[in-house]
Chains A and B, each alone.
Chain A
């Protein structure tokens, strides 16, 4: 599911039947342009750019780790961690103050 989820998000909905395995097993495979497919620009981790002109070509590159730069890892986990740490420190501080002053 995870791969399709990324592929379809970047390359659009799959139309027709394709087998990525056949392509990946054939190093001499040549992709044919699909005139109905709107060109997608993909980037790899080193910043190299390519244009893909068919859904299957796009899917093949995305499977290989290329992205369109739109899927970026969000910082939610960082914010969540900071929020929890803040909450924990506040609770501990409250507890400490309660022990020190309220009981007296």
Chain B
């Protein structure tokens, strides 16, 4: 009975994927479609919104010179049809009508249907107030990010007039989504967190919006958590609320539009008051929601969690390869897996960004596969649990994915942790272990020395400051000073550069601070300069250029340095100092990203909480501790915490480290 039901659900999902893009094809009156070429281009341009996407694909699926874009700027009745075709260099850009209201509904139905495949258990199901608050919050978002949504919706208006059906439609859509979240998820609430690994497979980004489906789910349960009015929860939330007036009223330069690109659904696209309040609340509610769901799970069954990690890992590799095989499949996967960016269209390992699509960055997917492999090793060699054939196949795929992700940091951390586990497991004598560790540390130090000795310490120590000043707007054009500044930079005469620009704002406050610290004449002999150590480390892990760019861009005032620009707001970081970069350049370190969000006080607080939690639970839930350490080390040089799936996974591990975790 249950199996039949699940088969029906899968069939329903497939129908939902195909039907909206084939509606016109089912009607006999549709015009026959010619093959797209220079001669027939005008046919498609004249018959806008007449030809269904499926019909177009049936005739043109063999073409390799097409790029498909889901375009929400059009009338609703153009949904699923060819809106326009524009010739570009060597290819045609095909715009498929994708009105955002229908896309949101369609994607939500499909993902909720997939969630409904999880075994259910009856649970209490109150939803009215939570649904209303969630829908209201996202309405707030729609109104706040005007510059983004007016580009994406033909009839966009933020005015509350009786004929603003787009706005009302948006509100009711979210009310309905919340209703169904409550119907589908609440009955499965005990098991829901065990399926979090699937967030790496289904990313949940609503197309042509800045909203993520799973963020909506967590916000809904976040409201539920707060509305329980538990003392501890209220205190933590109140502390956060105390910071909000500062973040919302901080005297920031307002930037109308920030292209969120791969940060879709988890970053502000503008920094006006409404947008900032929305993202401040969303960050808090996501954590509340995750906390609520984790507490709703009475016992964390690691076998289920591990299996889900394996299946999700296998599927990301499998569908990633599938997406690279055809343009049409690539776009279908992009849409229905809620990817932030389409997967790469070529099978070669390095084409743009290796695993773009299922993961916004190669680092993030490398870390995900690293976690799965760490768990596998732990259960296989330490806990002596045998794998079945399906698990073994999944692991083979994951190994391939890990290799393709090309994440050396994840590999090095994994090897370090595995070595630690092996040494502790195989060598019983404490003194023998110490000897072995000493040998390893010496080996690593000597190897590092040989790698680093290609450059002098003075050169390496200056790397971040040099890269930062190189990218800063310190050219003085139309006079001799241009060459003068260039010469000073090449001669590493940073003090003269600082003197030259002391009265101006070309050099960011953070870079100015680092440069002064590096060039400080009062440095004590034989005590290494902290900026020089930092620069050497950055160069060693290939982050000198990226972090140099970060400090060139990061230009906080005193208050912003201490308390941050506000959660999920990278707008000021990106634009305040007007550093021109090729596309979106993120901080390339989650710690630096959190420094932008929460300032030095907030970041220090978060790191302290993590360290204390890991230390306090060092003997309990050992594998969770290892995963947290593995991720934390990797986050030093990766932006993974800026993306929903990684952030949720890390926060989940943080929450369960004190919970009862059993293998089976």
Contacts and interface: CB of A to CB of B under 8 A. Distances in A.
Interface string B97-131: 00101100000000000000000000000000000
B61 interface: no
Interface string A82-98: 00110110011000000
Given A74-B76, A78-B165, A1 B84 contact: yes
Nearest to A71: B75
Given A13-B45, A88-B172, A88-B179, 14 more contacts: A1-B86, A2-B73, A4-B86, A5-B83, A8-B46, A9-B48, A13-B42, A73-B75, A77-B76, A77-B101, A77-B169, A78-B165, A80-B76, A88-B175
Interface string B76-100: 1100000110100000010100010
Given A13-B42, A87-B176, A76 B86 contact: no
A80 B167 CA distance: 12
A101 interface: no
Interface in B566-585: none
Nearest to B151: A2
B155 interface: yes
B226 interface: no
B101 A80 contact: yes
Contact of A81 (B48, B75, B99, B169): B169
Contacts of A80: 76, 101-102, 165, 169
B470 interface: no
Interface string B30-73: 00000000000010011010000000000000000000000101
Contacts of B93: 1
Interface of A: 1-2, 4-5, 8-9, 13, 73-74, 76-78, 80-81, 84-85, 87-88, 91-92
B168 A73 contact: no
Most buried by B among A4, A13, A74, A80: A80
B173 interface: yes
A5 B71 CA distance: 12
9 contacts: A1-B95, A5-B84, A8-B45, A73-B75, A78-B163, A80-B102, A80-B165, A84-B176, A88-B176
Contacts, number: 56
For the complex of A and B, list the 4 residue pairs with the smallest distance between their C-beta atoms, beginning with the closest: A76-B76, A77-B165, A81-B169, A84-B172
Contacts of A78: 163, 165
Contacts of A9: 48
B166 interface: yes
Contact of B179 (A2, A74, A77, A91): A91
Interface of B: 42, 45-46, 48, 71, 73, 75-77, 83-84, 86, 93, 95, 99, 101-102, 155, 163, 165-166, 168-169, 172-173, 175-176, 179
Contacts of A81: 165, 168-169, 172
A44 B445 CA distance: 76
Contacts of B173: 84
A91 B131 CA distance: 14
A41 B102 CA distance: 34
Q: Max chain A CB contacts within 10 Å: which of B73, B84, B155, B172?
A: B172
Contacts of B155: 73, 77
Contacts of B101: 77, 80
A10 to B, nearest CB: 11
Given A5-B83, A81-B172, A74 B95 contact: no
A9 B95 CA distance: 15
A81 B162 CA distance: 12
Contacts of A91: 176, 179
Given A1-B84, A1-B86, A85 B75 contact: no
Given A1-B84, A1-B95, A81-B165, A76 B172 contact: no
Contacts of B76: 74, 76-77, 80
Given A1-B84, A74-B77, A76-B75, A84 B45 contact: no
Nearest to A76: B76
B176 A77 contact: no
A13 B43 CA distance: 10
Given A5-B84, A81-B172, A13 B46 contact: yes
A85 to B, nearest CB: 6
Nearest to A85: B172
Most B CB within 10 A of own CB, among A1, A73, A74, A78: A1
Nearest to B48: A9
B48 A5 contact: yes
Contacts of A74: 75-77
A85 B86 CA distance: 37
Nearest to A77: B165
Contacts of A13: 42, 45-46
B642 to A, nearest CB: 30
Nearest to A12: B46
Contacts of A84: 169, 172-173, 176
A58 to B, nearest CB: 15
A9 B391 CA distance: 56
A103 B519 CA distance: 77
A78 B166 CA distance: 8
Contacts of B77: 74, 76
B85 to A, nearest CB: 10
Contacts of A5: 48, 83-84
B183 to A, nearest CB: 9
Contacts of B48: 5, 9
A104 B280 CA distance: 44
A9 B169 CA distance: 28
Nearest to B182: A95
A80 B93 CA distance: 29
B71 A1 contact: yes
B109 to A, nearest CB: 12
